[in-house]
Amino acid sequence: MLDIKLIRENPDIIKLAARDKKVTCDVDNLIEVDARRRKVQQEVEALRTQSREGGQQIALYRNPKGDWYKRAVENGKSPDEIKAEADRIQQELNDVKARIKPLEEEDRTVQEEFDALMLTIPQPPAPEVPVGVDDTENVELRRVGEIPTFDFDAKDHVTLGRDLDIIDIERGVKLAGSRNYILKGVGSLLHQAVLRLAQDMMVKRGFVPMTVPVLVNESVMTGTGYFPVGREQAYLCERDEMALVGTAEVPLTAYHNGEILSEDQLPLKYCAQSTCFRREAGAAGKDTAGLYRIHLFDKVEQVIICRNDEEASIAFHREILQNAEDVVQALELPYRVVNVCTGDLGQGQVQKYDIETWMPSRDSYGETHSASRFYEFQARRLMLRYKDANKKTRYCHTLNNTVIASPRILIPVLEIHQNADGTITIPAALRPYINNQERIQPRA
RNA sequence: GGAGGUGUGGCCGAGCGGCUGAAGGCGACGGUCUUGAAAACCGUUAGGCGGGUAACCGUCUCGGGGGUUCGAAUCCCUCCACCUCCGCCA
C-alpha cells in the first residue's frame, strides 16, 4: 500500500508503474473515490459535533444538582422552562441523528470502496529496474561458477531419483495429484540437509530462527501483499477463513504487525524454515516434469525489517542476496544473478534480484532464489511501524529472500554432482548432516 | 466440543449511561537538585482518519462488529482471544 497523498499528487507515476508491472488498477477512480470519502467524512464529523454538543447541553438541563442548573434557577428560569428547552434540543437532535444515519452509511461504503482500491495499487519500481514484459527480459548481472560439461550421458534428476531410489514422483502423484512427489531414503535426508545447512548459515549471521504458523488468517495474507491480488495462488481453508502460506515471508514479516517498535530494535533479522503451499494456478502444463514446479515444498526464508531509509534498504538488499549466494556456493553450484524486469515484478516489490542456478536437464539457469525489497509497501498494510529519533512514528521497510528452497535446489545438486558411474557426490558442506556420507550409490 | 469466567492506554489497575480518551500506580522520556549517580520533586508520555505551511483543530477508537439512547468504557446481541473445569487427542 502507498500513501494516498503520494497517489493524489503523482497519479502518472502510479499509472506508469501499473503499466510496466502489468497490474490492473484504476487510479482515476481511486482519486475520485478519495475525494468523495473526504467530503462525506467532513459532513459526518460536522453533524457529530453538533450532536455531541447538543447532548452535553441536555446533560446540564437535566441535572437539577448541577451548577449550571442552579445558576439558571437563580437567574429566574423556572424548572418547567428548562425542561421545555431540553425537550426542544432533544427533538432537534433527533433530526440531526436522522441526517447522520444515511451519511454514516455512505461514509462506510465509500471507505470500503477506497480500501479495496488502495489494495490494488502497485509500488513503483526503483529506477534501476529494467522495463520489460516478462522473465525473458530480466537482465543478467553476473555469472558465478562454471557450467559443467559431461563426458558421459548425463541423466536428469527424475531419472537419477528413480535409479537411486531417492525420488518417487509416481507415487507422490498417486497420493496427492500432479505436482506432488515423495522423497525417499537419502533423498529425504538430502532435503533435510540443505535446509539445515541454510538455517545454520543464517543463524551464524545473526538471524533469529523462528518456527511459525503456516496456516494464517487472511489479514496476514493481505498485509504482506499476497491478497487480494494473487489470492487464487493460495490454498484456502474456507471453513475457518484461513489460508496456507506460500512462504514463511508471510508470518515472519507479519510477526510485528500492528506494533510500534523503537528505532534501536532495528534492524530485525529473522529466518524460518516452513512448508510452502502453492496452487500454481494458471501454470497448467508449465514445468510439469520433475521437482521444478510443485505444490508443496520446504524453504528457509530470510526477512529483514529496517528503518525507513532507502540507503539502508538497498544495503540490506545486497546483504540478503549475498547470504543466498553463499549458500549456493557452499553447495558448489554455478549460478547467475538477474535484475528482474518490471513485468516480472510483484505488485509490492521495489526491486527484485533472482538467483538462477544452472540446471543441466533444463539446459538453462532456473530460478532458485528471489530477493525483494518493498520499502513501506508491506509495512503500511501491516501497520508495522517504529518511533524514530525525533519520536516520529514511521513505517518500517521490509525485505526478504530465499535462503534455500528444497526440493527444487536438489535438481542442480543431483544433476551437477552426478558421476559417470551413476553415483552422486554429496557436496562437502552437506556431509556433516548426512552422517558424513560422501556419495549416493545406486540401489543394489 | 460442553460449562463457567475474563478482556480498559507500554504494563498494572479504577471507572453511579452525560462533566472520562479515560483516576491512580509502575515504567519510559525531559527537567530541577547533585562533582556524578541514586533518592526526592516538577513535567511529558496512545493510535487511525480528516482539515491546516505550522502551532493546532475536528472526529473515531476502552478485544472486533452490530444494537438501544439526545448521549455508551458503562446496557443488549454477536464474534474473537485468554483463563478454569470436563471431554477428546499427536
* Nearest residue to A121 via CA among A28, A191, A183: A28
Is A176 near strand B, with its CB below 7 A from some atom of it?
A: no
Nearest nucleic acid nucleotide to A58, CA to C1' distance: B70
CA A205 to chain centre: 23
Spatial contact of A405 and A191, defined as CB atoms under 8 Å apart: no
The confidence score (pLDDT) of residue A241 equals: 83
pLDDT of residue A410: 98
- Strand B within 7 A of A425 CB: no
Structural domains in chain A plus CATH codes? 4-118 (1.10.287), 135-440 (3.30.930.10)
A444 pLDDT tier (thresholds 50, 70, 90): low
Instruction: Give the Å distances, CA to CA, from A178 to A172, A255, A290, A294.
Output: 8, 33, 10, 8
The C-alpha cell at A229 is 491480488
The residue with cell 491480488 is A229
Confidence tier at A127 by pLDDT (50, 70, 90): very high
Q: Which of A45, A49, A40 is nearest to A103 (CA)?
A: A40
Instruction: Confirm whether any atom of chain B, the nucleic acid strand, is less than 7 Å from CB of A52.
Output: yes
Average pLDDT of the segment spanning A89-93: 88
Asked if A346 and A372 count as a contact pair (C-beta separation under 8 A), the reply is: yes
Q: Which of residues 375-414 of A touch strand B (CB under 7 A)?
A: 383, 385, 393
pLDDT at A252 (0 to 100): 96
Tell me the whole-structure pTM to 2 decimals: 0.93
Active site residues of A: 278, 293, 367, 370, 408
Q: How many CA atoms lie within 13 A of A407 on its CB side?
A: 29
Classify residue A426 as left (phi > 0), alpha (psi -120 to 50) or beta.
beta
Rounded distance in angstroms from the CA atom of residue A37 to the C1' atom of nucleotide B47: 21
A8 touches strand B (CB under 7 A): no
- Among left, alpha and beta (phi > 0; psi -120 to 50; other), residue A364 is beta
Q: How far is residue A246's CA from residue A296's CA, in Å, rounded to a whole number?
A: 9
Q: Which nucleotides of B are covered by protein (CB under 7 A)?
A: 18-19, 46-51, 58-60, 66, 70-71
Query: How many whole angstroms separate alpha carbon A414 and alpha carbon A120?
Result: 41
Q: Which residues pair with A167 in a beta bridge?
A: A183
A55: Cβ under 7 Å from strand B? Answer: yes
Question: Across residues A35-47, what is the average pLDDT?
Answer: 94
Query: What ipTM describes this predicted complex?
Result: 0.87
Give residue-wise pLDDT tens across range A20-31.
Answer: 999 999 999 999
CA A261 / C1′ B28 distance in Å: 14
User: What whole-number distance in Å separates Cα of residue A99 and Cα of residue A312?
Assistant: 51
Residue A218 (CA) to nucleotide B63 (C1'), in angstroms, measures 18
DSSP 8-state secondary structure symbol assigned to residue A362: G
- What's the pLDDT at A22? 96
Share of chain A above pLDDT 70, in %: 100
Q: Are A377 and A7 in contact (CB under 8 A)?
A: no
